[in-house]
Structure 1
Amino acid sequence: MNIRYCSIPRQPPPALPADLDADRLNAIVATRFTWLNGTVLHYYFFDGETDGSVIPIPGEETRRWVSWVGGKDQQDVVRESFRAWKDLGIGLEFTEVADRTEAELRIGFQRGGGSFSRVGRSALAVATDQRTMNFGWDLTPPDERSTALHEIGHALGMVHEHQSPFAGIVWDEEAVYANLAGPPNFWPRERTFHNIIRKQDPAEVNGSDWDPQSIMEYPFSPGLILEPERFRAGLFPPGTISETDAAFARRWYPSFGDAEPPRLLPFRSAPLGLDAGAQADFLVVPEATRDYTVATFGESDAVLVLFEEIGGEPRYLTGEDDGGRPGNASVTAHLVKGRRYIVRVRLHSSWGSGQTAVMCW
C-alpha cells in the first residue's frame, strides 16, 4: 500500500539543567509546545515567485528548485481544516494574513518536499521567510484532507500517537524500514526511526496514552505491527478529529467567556493560585507612556506572554519561559497610555510554598 507520511522536523531538546527535579522536568516538557490559550494564530500562504527551494526529487537522483506556492483549491482545504479545529469551541483563533512577517504559521505547498509542521510554539523559532508547515501532495482528494487536519494538530502542540511509549506497539522494524524506503516516501532509515520507531519520552505525552482513532495516528499497512495483535492486519484510523483529539484541544485551549480579565495595576501583585498547566489572564491599561516590566514571583516555572490589543485582537509583543531556571519570567516593553494590553501566565509547576504572583511596574 502506498501511504504518504508526515515527517516532523527534528527538534533540539530543551536546554534544561541536568540535575533538575523529575517533577519539574516532566511538567516543563509536557507543556513546552502548547500555546497560551487566547492566542490568535496568524497563518500565511507563500505567494511569491521566488518562494521555493532546491530539493532532492523522491525516487530520482536529481535535485531541482520547486515552488512553495499552492493553488486556491489547496489553500481552501487548509482553511476548512483550521475551521474544523476552531469549531470544537477552543480558545485559540486562526486568522489568515497577507504579510508573512505577521504570521506565526507560514504555509507552503512544495510538491515532493513532504508534509510536515513545526510542533506548537517551536514555530516561533523559524525565520519569517521560512515555512513552519508544508503540504507535499494534493490535498483535494477526500482521503487526503486528513493531512491538513494532522499538520494543524502538530501546530497546536500535538505529537504522533503511534510514538507514545504507552501505546504498546511492537514493530517489525526491518519491515517498517523497507516499507518507508520505497515509494511514495523514499525515507532513509534515520527519518523512519525519528517519525515512527522512536518512542517519545513519557513526559512528552500531554494527551491520551494512545488513541488509534486519532488524527495524529498514522495508518499502517499489514505486516508492520506485531503487537497489539489486532493491528497485525493493519491500522487504519478514519482520518478525522477523534473525541480524544477534541478533548486534548479543549483541555489546553478551553473556550473563553465574555468576561473581561481582571486589571493588573502597577506595583500591585496579583496572586496566581494556579494548578500545574493552568493559566491566568490580566488586563493592563497604562496611565502613562513609558517602559513597563511584567514579572512572575515565587518558586515556580511559568510562561509569561504580553499581548497588545490591536483592532480588538491580541497581538504578540514579547514573552519569556523561565522553565528550569532559578529566576522568574520577566519581560519589559514600551506601553502606550490608554492602550489595552493582555498579560497571560501559564504555570508549568511550583514548589516550596507554592505561592506565586505576577506584578507590573
Structure 2
Amino acid sequence: MKQVEAEFTLFVRDGNWTSVRTALKQNWKNNKLELLTEQETFLERFLVDPYYLPNKESIDLLTEMAIHTSKMWNDGQTLNIYFMDGTNENKEQVKLYASEWCNHCSLKFNFNSSLDNSDIRISFMQQGCWSYIGTDCKANEVINKPTMNFGWLGQLTTDNEKKGIILHEFGHALGLIHEHQSPAIKIDWAYSYVYMYYATFYNWTIQDVNWNVFHEFTTSTIKNTPIDVNSIMAYHIPPEFTTNNIQFPKNLVLSDIDKQTIGQFYK
C-alpha cells in the first residue's frame, strides 16, 4: 500500500488554562459558554493576571471552558508570519500557496514580520509537518518557538503535494481541525491496523494516533459543517483503516466547502 502522508496537529496541552487565556485575549468570541456577571468579572482578571489564583467555582469554570473554548482569530485580522529558517524556495512556496486561504475570507497574511511581532512562526528544520491550532500559536509556551513546521516539504516530488501540505497546516493555524475528527461522521476504525501503520511509517506513539486520528471533537467544541471528504483538512484514509468502508481521498486543494467554511468563520 502506498504510504499515507501524515502530519501532527499540536495543541498547547489538552485542557490547559493557558490555551483558554490566549484564545480569549485574542478573540472574546471564542467563549462558547453563557457566563454570569461574576464569572465575567473573574475572567477579566484571569486574562490580565496569570498569577491570579481562582477559587473552586472558578476552577470548575476554567475546566469547562478548556473544553468549549474555540481558537479563532478576529475577523479581518492580519496575521504576522515569521520564517525562522528555510531556503528562499521553500519560503516562496509557502507564501504562494498559503495565501489562497485569504482569497476566501477576511484574514490577511504579512510574511515580513519580525520575530517579536509574529503570530505564526515557521520552521523547516523540525521533525514532521505540523501546526498549532489557531490562537494557540500565541501562547506563552511557544513564544519565540516554531508554531508550524514543514520538515519533509523538500521530500515531496510535486508542487501539488507541496501545496496540499501547506494549505493543510495553514488551515490548522487558522483554527481548523482535521475533517475526519468532526462529530459529523462516525468512523469505525481498524484500531490495531492504524496503530501499527503509524508506528511503522512515522514512529508515532499510541497517544499521537489517538489525538491526531481517533479523537473526536464535540459539537460544543467546534463549528462543523456536514462532512466533506474532499476537505484539505482531511487525512487520506484508505479502506484498510476502517471496518465500515469509509474512505477519504488524498486531497491537495481547497474544496468548495473549505472555501465556504473559512469565509463563514472569518467574515
The interval holding the TM-score normalised by the smaller chain is: 0.7 to 0.9
Write 1 or 2 for the structure with the bigger share of strand. Answer: 1
Q: Which residue of structure 1 aligns with residue 265 of structure 2? A: 252
2:98 equivalent to 1:82: yes
Distance 1:155 1:98 in 2: 16
Which of 224, 238, 241 pairs up with 2:241? 224
Contact kept in structure 2, 1:100 and 1:128, CA below 8 Å: no
Q: Which residue of structure 2 aligns with residue 173 of structure 1? A: 191
- Superposition map of 1:1-361 within 5 A: 1-10=2-11, 11-13=13-15, 15=17, 17=58, 29=68, 32-46=70-84, 69-88=85-104, 90-110=105-125, 113-125=127-139, 126-138=141-153, 141=158, 142-183=160-201, 185-227=202-244, 229=245, 231=246, 234-254=247-267
Could you tell me how far 1:98 is from its partner in structure 2? 4.8
Q: Which amino acid aligns with 1:84?
A: E
Could you tell me how far 1:122 is from its partner in structure 2? 1.1
Contact kept in structure 1, 2:80 and 2:113, CA below 8 Å: no
- Aligned CA RMSD, in angstroms, stands at 2.3
Distance 2:113 2:134 in 1: 21
Q: Which amino acid aligns with 1:104?
A: D
Contact kept in structure 2, 1:44 and 1:107, CA below 8 Å: yes
Cα-to-partner distance string for 1:293-328 (whole Å, 9 max, x where unaligned): xxxxxxxxxxxxxxxxxxxxxxxxxxxxxxxxxxxx
Structure 1 residues not aligned, in runs of 5+: 47-68, 255-361
Contact kept in structure 2, 1:119 and 1:154, CA below 8 Å: yes
Distance 1:74 1:202 in 2: 37
Q: How many percent identity over aligned positions?
A: 25
The number of residues matched between the two structures is 220
Partner SS, residue 168 of structure 2: helix
Distance 1:147 1:19 in 2: 38
Cα-to-partner distance string for 1:201-235 (whole Å, 9 max, x where unaligned): 332231314211111000023311122x2x3xx42
Structure 2 residues not aligned, in runs of 5+: 21-57
Write 1 or 2 for the structure with the bigger share of helix. Answer: 2
Q: Which residue of structure 2 aligns with residue 62 of structure 1? A: none
Partner SS, residue 204 of structure 1: coil
Higher relative contact order, chain-length normalized (CA < 8 Å, sep 6+)? 2
Distance 1:204 1:161 in 2: 14
Normalized against structure 2, the TM-score is what? 0.75
Contact kept in structure 1, 2:234 and 2:248, CA below 8 Å: no
Q: Which amino acid aligns with 1:144?
A: K
